[in-house]
Amino acid sequence: MVNSLFQHPVLLQATPSRLLSLSPVDLIIIVIYFGLVLGIGFYLKRYAKTSEDFFMAGREMTAWIAGLSFLAANLGSLELMGWAAAAYQYGILATHWYWIGAIPAMLFLGVVMMPFYYICKTHSVPGYLHLRYGESARALSAISFGFMTVLMSGINMYSMALVLKVVLGWDINFSIWVSSLTVAVYVALGGLLSAIFNEVLQFILIWAGALLIPILGLIETGGWDGMVARIQKNLPGGDYTHLWRTMGSFTDNPMGIHWTGIVFGLGWVISFGYWTTDFLVVQRVLSARDLRSAKLAPIIGSAFKMMVPFIVILPGLLALAVLPMKLVGEGEAVATGAHSYNEVLPLMLARYCGPGLLGLGITALIAGFMSGMAGNVSAFATVWTYDIYRPLLKRRQPRDEHLVKVGRWCTILGVLVSIGTAYLVMQFKSIMDYVQALFSFFIAPLFGTVLLGMLFRRITPAGGFWGLLAGTVSSIGMWAWVKVDKGALAYIALSSNAKDMAENMYRGLWSWVVCVVVTVVVSLLTRPKPDKELAGLVYGLTEVPSEGHLPLWKRPIFWAAVVATVFFILNIIFW
């Protein structure tokens, strides 16, 4: 039975036609899932009456619910489709985005930054900037975040449509529109509360369905060693299975990147920027019922994050070992009729899954895409309502029920705008190249602004605004420079042989440096806020409740140390 799955005849043909048809059992599984998520939305509508309920889930979530939602909001198409594609392109180097590109930042959020976010009772990251720097910084960050969020949401729509095209043969334009309807309904009904409960459900389904590929793939290849041997046979001369060993030179690894780009560009700027300042994920932690739960939530999420490469990166590596055809960039795939990098996961799903298992696997993919879409849409609705509509467009203080109504309409509007951005994704060779470019534009400089504001009372409102603006503009400028002149790679990415992903890492690093330098210089030339206005916002002026009365095993810092230890061990094992 297993051998017949491995030799599925349709995979021997490089054709864009559909790979498999759903059996009645598969259709029933998918229909049950859609009915379940819509039912949750309708049920939770009764609990989303106030703006605090709709946008912040009433701030009543436990550490486990907030932590799993924190991770599941990120476990969308970026994880399932994008990183499987990146693993096929770059090998195990893609795992850096899960380990050094996530774990330290998630622990830093829980241990260091959450007290400031939670104690000041902000509704959003732009809301924190308003308290720390003033209206100008909030407006700039809110508009940038809103723009980035609808672009990111388009990725999830495109990815779901791509799965339906490859596996089921559906028209991709029709699928993009269909994929948005369910999310628009259940988020508009129940707000963040509905999004969080569905994300926890989707987290469980993703693991249940996505485990099929790595388990069956490792059986086929004879375990890890067998898979590595096949990759070396298929791709002689390249090292696709070591994390750090090939990082001493720009030319020794498939990504064309040096370890400095991974450690400082990804591990510091991009990673910390995303996990500590991207409101898409921070919003879930802010819904926690108390400060200890808010600190524990990212730590719980980080423990599960370390295991995600098994269901995301490993399928891409297995594809290098077992797929009979060579996958290419999206543009070349459209021109030649071949399969693209972005189709790795559905191709592997078709290879291993028969009736019933296919329905579970497709449901896992759909759950991941809907989780990512819901995360973007709910965060967009919150930032639009609290940080753009209320302060900039609605000068008079609106009633609470009016804010809820605006949030519901904004959810629908955000989905519609995201549909348009889904078509932008098709212009990129890899989904993750598109995503990392956006992060370097908006997240990297934002991290500099938030971090300086939290740690140093001397940073001024003018410094925060102009630093954020300079960092964002410089990042977009560097991206445009490379598009016009490829020779600019030698200056931005420190190598003329750098690939898109490497360029993104270094561009993020330089934009962060620009933001920090401009922020510090302008702050030294302008007057800071008085200390009494910074209480609860800045290190040294914020009283954080002590946890000394708790047993060691109940303290967030203890579990952060446990996760950090496992993190170091994994990096050594796969060195």
pLDDT surpassing 50 at residue 314: yes
Any idea what the CATH number is for the domain that residue 151 is in? 1.20.1730.10
Residue 448 burial (10 A CB sphere; 0-12, 13-18, 19+): buried
Query: How high is the pLDDT of residue 10?
Result: 34
- CA 245/CA 253 separation, integer angstroms: 9
212, part of any domain: yes
- The backbone region for 364, taken as left when phi is positive above 0, alpha when psi lies in -120 to 50, beta otherwise, is alpha
Q: Identify the three-state secondary structure at position 507.
A: helix
* Residue 41 near residue 189 (C-beta atoms within 8 A): yes
Tokens of 166: 């490859």
- CA 77/CA 65 separation, integer angstroms: 21
H or E element at residue 189 = helix 172-210
- Output the pTM of the full model: 0.78
Instruction: State how many domains the chain has.
Output: 1
Instruction: Output b/e per residue, 198-220; b: 16+ Cβ within 10 A.
Output: bbbbbbebbbebbebbbebbbeb
Tokens of 315: 């399928």
- CA 94/CA 241 separation, integer angstroms: 10
DSSP state of 493: S
pLDDT surpassing 90 at residue 575: no
pLDDT surpassing 50 at residue 74: yes
H or E element at residue 136 = helix 135-168
Q: Identify the three-state secondary structure at position 169.
A: coil
Query: How high is the pLDDT of residue 1?
Result: 32
Percent of all residues in the chain with a pLDDT value above 70, rounded to a whole number? 84
pLDDT grade for 8, boundaries at 50, 70 and 90: very low
Query: How high is the pLDDT of residue 240?
Result: 76
Query: How distant is the alpha carbon of residue 489 from its chain centre?
Result: 26
Greatest C-alpha distance within the chain:
73
Q: What is the mean pLDDT of residues 70-97?
A: 77
Cα distance from N-terminal residue to C-terminal residue, the chain: 36
Q: What is the DSSP string of 51-96?
A: HHHHHHGGG-B-HHHHHHHHHHTT-SHIIIIIHHHHHHHHGGGGGG
pLDDT tens figures, 135-174: 898 888 888 888 787 777 777 677 677 667 766 677 777 7
Q: What is the mean pLDDT of residues 508-528?
A: 93
* Residue 372 near residue 156 (C-beta atoms within 8 A): yes
* Residue 146 near residue 388 (C-beta atoms within 8 A): yes
> Could you tell me the residue range of the domain that residue 124 belongs to?
2-540+550-573
Percent of all residues in the chain with a pLDDT value above 90, rounded to a whole number? 10
- CA 26/CA 39 separation, integer angstroms: 20
* Residue 544 near residue 512 (C-beta atoms within 8 A): no
545, part of any domain: no
> Of 160-174, 279-293, 309-323, 364-378, which one has max mean pLDDT?
309-323
- CA 446/CA 280 separation, integer angstroms: 14
Q: What is the mean pLDDT of residues 47-75?
A: 77
Q: What is the DSSP string of 356-408?
A: THHHHHHHHHHHHHHHHHHHHHHHHHHHIIIIIIIIII--S---HHHHHHHHH
- CA 325/CA 66 separation, integer angstroms: 42
Tokens of 174: 């029709």
Q: What is the mean pLDDT of residues 26-42?
A: 80
Query: How high is the pLDDT of residue 331?
Result: 55
pLDDT surpassing 50 at residue 533: yes
- CA 188/CA 558 separation, integer angstroms: 39
Query: How high is the pLDDT of residue 18?
Result: 55
- The backbone region for 256, taken as left when phi is positive above 0, alpha when psi lies in -120 to 50, beta otherwise, is left
Mean of all residue pLDDT scores within the chain: 78
467, part of any domain: yes
Tokens of 495: 């190598």
Q: What is the mean pLDDT of residues 54-74?
A: 78
Query: How distant is the alpha carbon of residue 6 from its chain centre?
Result: 31
Q: What is the mean pLDDT of residues 412-424?
A: 77
Place of tokens 């559909």: 18
HSE (CB half, 13 Å, CA atoms) of 431?
32
Query: How high is the pLDDT of residue 386?
Result: 80
Alpha helices in 261-356 (DSSP H): 271-277, 279-286, 291-305, 309-322, 330-336, 344-352
Q: What is the mean pLDDT of residues 530-537?
A: 86
Query: How high is the pLDDT of residue 524?
Result: 94
224, part of any domain: yes
pLDDT surpassing 60 at residue 429: no
- CA 535/CA 379 separation, integer angstroms: 26
- CA 532/CA 151 separation, integer angstroms: 39
80, part of any domain: yes
List residues bridging with 328 in a β-sheet: 340
